[in-house]
A and B are shown apart, each in its own frame.
Chain A
Amino acid sequence: MLIPVKCWSCGKVIAHVYEQYKQAVESGEDAQSTLEDLGIKRYCCRRMFVGHVDLLDEISPFSIARDQL
């Protein structure tokens, strides 16, 4: 869905760098070095990025006000 605000295991705030991570990876950069640059060191935090699937865009059309559909 939407990237969790904190890492589930250690509690580090991670959501604020997700957009940067996504852009870097989409532009062909290496996920490992990107995470290193963003200061995401532990593997518990790293899996939050690597394993995340942005599904919010997929479901958001289904929550529009009824009279507009």
Chain B
Amino acid sequence: MVKAEVIEENDEEISILLSDSGRAFVNALRRTLMSDTPKMAIDTVRFEMGTIEQDGEIWETNGPLPDEVVAQRLAMIPIPTKHDEFHFQDSCPSCAELVVEDRGCPLCTMIYTCKAFGSEGGRTVTAGDMSFLGAGGSISEKYHSIPITKLSRGQMIEFYATAIMGRGRDHAKWSPVCGIAFSPRQVGILNVKTRSKILWDLNLTITAKDFDSNGRMEDIGKVAQLIEDLHHVGDGTEESRKFKDAITLEDVPGEFILSFETDGSMTPRVAFQKAVQELSERFGELKEDFAAIV
């Protein structure tokens, strides 16, 4: 059974050590995180068109960016995703039986509205100008400064944007993770004490004391630092001629470090849990199918 241990974690980044595992499995997890983890994203936008006269001034629903570009930008904004409150439209308990065009209810959609006017010299309309119809779905404060468009005097924008649950395989806007990668866990091995002095003499972060009495270094953080330090004596450097393989890195079989960031729509921990759940359901289905055939 694969064991997962969180090495480092904050609101948007995580690094996980997966042991008792294989490259194919970790890659399946990586791909599931990218393309199969449910997430809310804006899918349809209704732009109001027309001219408004207000206090003797004429405002036209016009702007430098075409509606398509605005809609695309809206789709990229991280929508806070609550998996226990919202459903996929095709499995929504109250509107799944309806034809596709008629679907959409408080259990499966989040609606944002925005009405903004331009000003002399230009006013940037940001994600913070969008208000959520309902409670608890507002875009997080951190992302309020995402610019949507910029309006001059006489220009205005008014739209209703509807977010629905989706998966990254259909569109990247539904992919909650970014910068996702994994690498085998490595340990540092001190092969030749005399020649490694070349590295110590460069006065970088790692010193001989960081290796244990057997000449091994296992701490994940220190090994990461060692990998960086070794670039100074690695291929293409003058030092590499003498240094040769005084210190080497060795892969730990079956252990991988998976690290990724989320776009802010959910915490990395939630994304990981959802991905694991999706993957195990997928494997479960496969198992049932096999059982039916054999």
Task: Tell me if A63 and B179 are in contact (CB < 8 A).
Answer: no
B167 close to chain A: CB less than 8 A: no
In the complex, whether B204 has a CB less than 8 A from a CB of chain A is no
Shortest B286–chain A CB gap in Å is 28
A7 partner residues in chain B, CB cutoff 8 A: 178
B-side interface size class: 20 to 34
> Which label, helix, strand, loop or mixed, suits the secondary structure of the B interface?
mixed
Residues of A48-69 contacting chain B, CB below 8 A = 56-57, 59-65, 67-68
Contacts of A3 in B (CB 8 A): 147
What residues on A are CB-neighbors of B136 within 8 Å?
none
Q: Is the CB of B58 within 8 A of A65?
A: yes
A37 to chain B, nearest CB (A): 15
Residues of A with Cβ closer than 8 Å to B? 1-7, 10-13, 15-19, 42, 56-57, 59-65, 67-68
Q: B residues near A, CB below 8 A? A: 51, 58, 60, 62-65, 73, 76-78, 122, 127, 142-147, 149-155, 172, 175, 177-179, 261, 263-264
Q: 7 A-B residue contacts at CB 8 Å?
A: A2-B65, A11-B175, A16-B143, A16-B145, A59-B64, A61-B152, A62-B64
